[in-house]
């Protein structure tokens, strides 16, 4: 039997060679795919670990289904005061955002292949800003001002003082670039473009007046982010009345629609790379998502 098998193999050397080659190539492609995806995941993990540094707990609206890139529903501004009143909270700030397509000097839209075009409100408290920092200029202070990421500015020959058109859900308008921002050592957020506005302007542009997309929280010294997340969740839950029914929380906790902030969109973008940001539903009627930055 062995002699017959060997005779058959040597009689079909080309088939044997091609079969062996296909096995080697298949294993090589699979190994390369794992290496590539792990490299991407590590890149995203390192980048977003820096972007969200200083943010111990993140509060977002909770959707009843996966809304993908559209992000979680917004919350009323009054939720911020509820969060700030929780024991152990050192600082908390709300933000909003959505899509914002920046145009170059010729009026052509700057749209990267794959990464999103992000827009968001500027974080006033530097302790909650992560590693987003000005490289040039200053923060936006009015309805006609914007900051852009360093990669977009460099690739399109944009600088502080230039006027560009930006499209948002509110339409297309002209904005003066007053600042250029970076993300730690990175010039952009994994290829995404970013346009930053002051909070009031961003709320108007993304149709979120009186609402926040995300609330970021800094814990007091010595307070565990896990314990703080639990405390915020408990404070946000509806209380039962004497008849056993759950009392309605203020309209602050009601879901309104599928919007997203810069940070929320960034997290959605990152989650597509497989990073396990934890999430906990804390309300049954009008849920909020309380995340601890891991």
Residue 2 lies in a domain: no
Residues 189 and 57 placed together within one structural domain of the fold: yes
Residue 68 lies in a domain: yes
Residues 98 and 215 placed together within one structural domain of the fold: yes
Q: Cβ atoms within 10 A of the Cβ of 265, count?
A: 27
Q: How far apart are CA 30 and CA 39, in angstroms?
A: 14
* Interval 270-275 mean pLDDT: 40
Residues 158 and 276 placed together within one structural domain of the fold: yes
Query: Residue 288, by phi and psi: left (phi above 0), alpha (psi -120 to 50) or beta?
Result: beta
Task: Supply the DSSP string of 58-81, one letter for each residue.
Answer: EEEE--SS--GGG-PPPEETHHHH
Nearest-Å Rg of the Cα atoms of the chain is 25
Residues 36 and 134 placed together within one structural domain of the fold: no
Of 221 and 17, which is predicted with more confidence?
221
Residue 1 lies in a domain: no
Residues 23 and 162 placed together within one structural domain of the fold: no
Residue 5 lies in a domain: no
Q: Map tokens 């193999």 to a residue.
A: 9
Q: What is the pLDDT of residue 233?
A: 85
* pLDDT band, very low/low/confident/very high, at 41 (cuts 50, 70, 90): low
Q: Which of 96, 74, 128, 80 is nearest to 236 (CA)?
A: 80
Residues 78 and 218 placed together within one structural domain of the fold: yes
E strand or H helix at 99, and its extent?
Answer: strand 97-99
Q: Map tokens 């039962």 to a residue.
A: 240
Contact 91, 168 (CB under 8 A): no
Greatest Cα-to-Cα distance within the chain, rounded to the nearest angstrom = 88
Residues 20 and 159 placed together within one structural domain of the fold: no
Residues 76 and 97 placed together within one structural domain of the fold: yes
Residue 19 lies in a domain: yes
Residue 7 lies in a domain: no
pLDDT tens for each residue of 160-179: 999 999 999 999 999 999 99
Q: What is the pLDDT of residue 293?
A: 52
Q: Cβ atoms within 10 A of the Cβ of 64, count?
A: 9
Q: How buried is residue 170: exposed, middle or buried, by Cβ count under 10 Å (0-12/13-18/19+)?
A: middle
Residues 34 and 57 placed together within one structural domain of the fold: no
Residues 215 and 225 placed together within one structural domain of the fold: yes
Q: How many domains does the chain have?
A: 2
Range of the domain at 273: 48-238+249-292
Beta-bridge mates of residue 99? 118
- Asked whether residue 281 carries a pLDDT value surpassing 50, the answer given is no
Residue 3 lies in a domain: no
Q: What is the pLDDT of residue 286?
A: 35
Residues 115 and 229 placed together within one structural domain of the fold: yes
Residues 40 and 108 placed together within one structural domain of the fold: no
List b or e across 137-163, with b for residues whose CB sees 16 or more CB atoms inside 10 angstroms: bebbeeeebbbbbbbbbeebebebebe
- Asked whether residue 119 carries a pLDDT value surpassing 90, the answer given is yes
Q: By percentage, how much of the chain surpasses pLDDT 70?
A: 71
Residue 244 lies in a domain: no
């Amino acid at each position: 039997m062995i002699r017959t098998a060997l005779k058959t193999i040597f009689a079909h050397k080309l088939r044997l060679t091609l079969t062996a080659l296909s096995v080697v190539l298949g294993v090589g492609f699979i190994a390369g795919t794992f290496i590539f995806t792990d490299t991407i995941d590590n890149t995203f993990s390192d980048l977003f670990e820096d972007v969200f540094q200083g943010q111990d707990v993140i509060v977002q609206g909770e959707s009843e289904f996966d809304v993908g890139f559209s992000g979680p529903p917004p919350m009323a501004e009054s939720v911020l005061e509820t969060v700030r009143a929780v024991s152990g909270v050192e600082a908390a700030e709300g933000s909003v955002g959505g899509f914002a397509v920046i145009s170059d000097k010729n009026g052509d839209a700057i749209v990267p292949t794959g990464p999103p075009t992000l827009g968001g409100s500027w974080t006033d408290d530097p302790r909650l800003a992560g590693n987003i920092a000005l490289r040039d200029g200053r923060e936006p202070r009015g309805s006609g001002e914007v900051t852009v990421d360093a990669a977009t500015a460099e690739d399109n020959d944009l600088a502080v003082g230039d006027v560009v058109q930006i499209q948002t859900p509110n339409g297309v308008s002209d904005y003066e670039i007053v600042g250029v921002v970076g993300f730690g050592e990175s010039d952009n957020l994994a290829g995404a473009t970013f346009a930053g506005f002051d909070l009031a302007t961003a709320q108007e542009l993304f149709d979120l007046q009186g609402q926040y997309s995300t609330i970021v929280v800094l814990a007091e010294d010595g307070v565990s982010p896990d314990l703080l997340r639990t405390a915020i969740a408990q404070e946000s839950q509806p209380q039962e009345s004497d008849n056993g029914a759950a009392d309605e929380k203020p309209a602050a906790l009601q879901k309104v629609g599928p919007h997203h902030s810069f940070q929320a969109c960034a997290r959605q973008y990152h989650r597509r790379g497989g990073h396990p940001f934890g999430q906990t539903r804390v309300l049954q009627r009008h849920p909020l998502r309380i995340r601890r930055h891991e």
